[in-house]
Amino acid sequence: MNVHPETERIELRLLLEAIYLKYGYDFRNYSMAHLKRRAEYRLSLSGLASISQLQHAVLHDEKMFLIFLQDLSINVSEMFRDPPFYKALRNEILPMLGTYPSFKIWHAGCSAGQEVYSMAILLHEAGMRERGQIYATDFNRAILEQAREAAFPLAQLKDYTTKYQQAGGENSFADYYAADDERALLCSFLKERIFFSEHNLVTDGVFGEMHLIVCRNVLIYFDRELQDRVVGLFVDSLCPGGFLCLGSKESLKFSRHAEKFEVVREKEKIYRKRRDA
Amino acid sequence: MKRAFKAVVVGVSSGGLEALKILVPGLRKDLSVPVLIVQHLSPQADSYLALRLDEVSGLKVKEAEDKEFLQAGVAYVAPPDYHLLVEPDGSLSLSVDPKVNFSRPSVDVLFETASDAFGAALIGVVLTGANQDGAKGLARIKRRGGLAVVQSPESALADAMPRAALESTNVDHVLPLREIAPFLNNLLIGPSHANTD
Ligand SMILES: C[S@@+](CC[C@H](N)C(=O)[O-])C[C@H]1O[C@@H](n2cnc3c(N)ncnc32)[C@H](O)[C@@H]1O
């Protein structure tokens, strides 16, 4: 079948509207090219012939909606992804954070917790874990369950270990987990000051008075308008002088909130909210 | 009659650095359309490719940024470890979705989304490579009425990717690497006049 792209875009918009009206999840300002690809992926697996049929299936069968919700939530993540970022956190940001008697960190779009536990390890090694409180949120309930478990496939450990070392890790990465036949279970002390909870960046509100917000590889899935809204949410959730960390290919360059931040590390995408913002 | 094209997409894998060093500098800087390039690289690679190509080309070459708008006469290279997607409004998106054809960035992801955005006004070019990436995407470009160009397998360092592309669809032009840039210049700008660049 050779459907005109414009017709497919109409079908896609109707699907998103249906999901929003029926289930309250708002994908209407996500990247269209991304959504289209995820819909095609579901079509290819389910034998449905068109996006309109997928819309019908999602509306009439909640199970189908939940499956498609997983498709839309890209949970690809790693521990110590982009080692230079973690190195910069360790050497430059944590010492500044350490000047506060206590501090709060928000990981928005935390997926299965890889970033959150990387942060917990950094705080541990800096002797700051007791003073910090970490809030880790995602809109995907199933992935948050996994994050709470803190268990990762053994196959990933080699990569995590290398990246931990590249990020300036001081200990042996093996000190932080116990392995069984299939999985590595992170030590439970790393979980001590972490709260996992559901939060949707599109539809939920401010998360108040954070010293550091980490939101990496989430904004790329949003269109410019939604990126602006969510960065606005971060501005309102940061204390003056608080830090914002984005993914290595994300920036505030196209954001209307850009002037509310100063650039701390250009390459590592670390920004600081101006005191007068 | 000159056809109105709006963009060129290029997919290349092993042997790609050598191939791109011939293709990109061969393109004229007054090319009337943007060029989008996916080269398979290791996820740890840095942004060296775009810089290197920019130095040796008349055309401006840069690494693609999330949500920037395409401009004529600029070549955009997908960053390592991110897929490059074209939005219907002519802006770019990056994503860390799972690998496609064992690759991120994937040629198919670029070609399919660009085909959705530009329809018949798109030219797809598949160059050297040792895998199948790009075949599905080129087939979509053809289905939508776009133009399909493939490097002749004999002129490719690795011929699997051009061959897979040739098998996937009715390709319009099969050309040796060195003829592809002049072909595109001619198609998009017209015959070159003596001593202009
Ligand atoms: C590609 S992952 C990034 C994970 C991690 N931050 C990293 O960079 O490794 C994107 C995450 O964003 C989450 N996400 C997508 N849309 C969201 C929304 N509206 N609110 C909260 N989380 C969202 C997804 O569920 C997914 O876990």
Both tokens of A196, joined, read 């996992």
Asked whether A85 and A268 are in contact (CB, 8 A), the reply is yes
Contact assignment for A33 to B93 by CB distance below 8 Å: yes
- Dihedral angle at the C-alpha atoms of A174, A177, A178, A180, nearest 10 degrees? -100
Residue A1 pLDDT exceeds 60: no
Residue in A with minimal Cα distance to B68: A254
Confidence of residue A223 (pLDDT cuts 50, 70, 90): very high
Contact assignment for B97 to A74 by CB distance below 8 Å: yes
Q: Determine whether the shortest distance from the Cβ of A116 to ligand 1 is under 6 A.
A: no
Closest residue by Cα to residue A86 from A117, A118, A54: A118
The interface predicted TM-score of the complex, written ipTM, equals 0.95
Give the angle A247-A248-A250 at the CA atoms, nearest 5°.
60
Confidence of residue B45 (pLDDT cuts 50, 70, 90): confident
Cα separation, B121 vs A148, whole angstroms? 49
- Which sequence positions of B are flagged as catalytic? 13, 40, 133
Q: How far is CA B158 from the centre of its chain?
A: 17
Q: A37 contacts in B (CB within 8 Å)?
A: 85, 97, 109, 112-113
List pLDDT tens digits, range A72-81. 999 999 999 9
Asked whether B34 and B91 are in contact (CB, 8 A), the reply is no
Cα separation, A106 vs A209, whole angstroms? 10
List pLDDT tens digits, range A247-266. 999 999 889 999 999 999 99
Sequential DSSP letters for chain B: ------EEEEEE-TTHHHHHHHHHHHS-TT-SS-EEEEE---TT--THHHHHHHHH-SSEEEE--TTPBP-TTEEEEPPTTSEEEE-TTSBEEEE-PPPBTTBSS-HHHHHHHHHHHHGGGEEEEE---SS-TTHHHHHHHHHTT-EEEEE-GGG-SS-HHHHHHHHHS--SEEE-HHHHHHHHHHHHT-SPPTT--
Mutation target to probe the B interface, by most B beta carbons within 10 A, among A8, A249, A250, A268 is A249
Residue B111 pLDDT exceeds 70: yes
SS (H, E, C) A89-131: HHHHHHHHHCCCCCEEEEEECCCCCHHHHHHHHHHHHCCCHHH
Mean pLDDT across B98-111:
96
Cα separation, B193 vs B196, whole angstroms? 6
Q: pTM (2 decimals)?
A: 0.96
Name, in order, each residue with C-beta under 8 angstroms of A251's C-beta and a sequence gap of 6 or more: A269, B65, B66
Residue B13 pLDDT exceeds 60: yes
Mutate-to-test residue for ligand 1 from A35, A38, A68, A73, highest number of ligand atoms within 8 A of CB: A73
List pLDDT tens digits, range A182-218. 999 999 999 999 999 999 999 999 988 999 999 999 9
Q: Is A79 helix (H, G, I), strand (E, B) or coil?
A: coil
Residue B20 pLDDT exceeds 70: yes
Both tokens of B99, joined, read 């690998």
Binding-face residues of B in 138-177 toward A, CB within 8 A: 143-144
Residue in B with minimal Cα distance to A81: B44
- Give the per-residue pLDDT at B197: 45
List pLDDT tens digits, range B143-184. 999 999 999 999 999 999 999 999 999 999 999 999 999 999
